[in-house]
Amino acid sequence: MLFDTPDLLRYIAANYSGAEKIVEIGMGPEDSVYKALKREMDAEILAVDICPSGDALFDDIFEPDIEKYSGASLIYSIRPNPELILPLQKIAQTVGADLLIRPLTTDSGSKPPSMKLMNYGRAVLWVEKHH
């Protein structure tokens, strides 16, 4: 678990308590946020990855299966590689979901101008609203 995971979870709970669906893209083996959301949120929580493990489903965000994201209020990704940010934005825009990125701490130069930098407790977040 990352040091700022509790603050990330608090942000999602405070801003998406009425969400029907939340999707994590690029879950990988670190699934603590996904599992906490499944326990604490009254929403469908879905995870996708190019190399799925655990509960994650397969999807290639460069050629996404948009149905997996349809109906989502929030799409989030934790520490995505910079080359994944544009496909993440396209998916969120296509389905009308907000996009939340918890970047690598050294990725501040990769933040797209359309995303707002937010500090929430110890969590540094990039947010793009579509919902």
Give the model's pLDDT for residue 107.
64
pLDDT (average), residues 24-38 = 92
If one counts every other C-beta atom within 10 angstroms of the C-beta of residue 113, the result is 5
Residue pair 57/3 in contact (Cβ under 8 Å)? The answer is: no
pLDDT band at 30 (very low <50, low <70, confident <90, very high): confident
Spatial distance between the Cα atoms of 1 and 78, rounded to a whole number of angstroms: 11
| Dihedral sign of CA atoms 90, 96, 48, 18 in order | positive
Give the model's pLDDT for residue 106.
62
CATH code assigned at 56? 3.40.50.150
Spatial distance between the Cα atoms of 90 and 122, rounded to a whole number of angstroms: 28
Domain ranges, residue 96: 5-128
- Please determine, for residue 6, whether its predicted confidence score (pLDDT) is greater than 70: yes
Instruction: Tell me the per-residue pLDDT of 38-49, one tens digit each, with 9 for 90 and over.
Output: 999 999 999 999
- Please determine, for residue 14, whether its predicted confidence score (pLDDT) is greater than 90: yes
- Please determine, for residue 65, whether its predicted confidence score (pLDDT) is greater than 80: yes
Give the number of domains in the chain: 1
pLDDT band at 63 (very low <50, low <70, confident <90, very high): very high
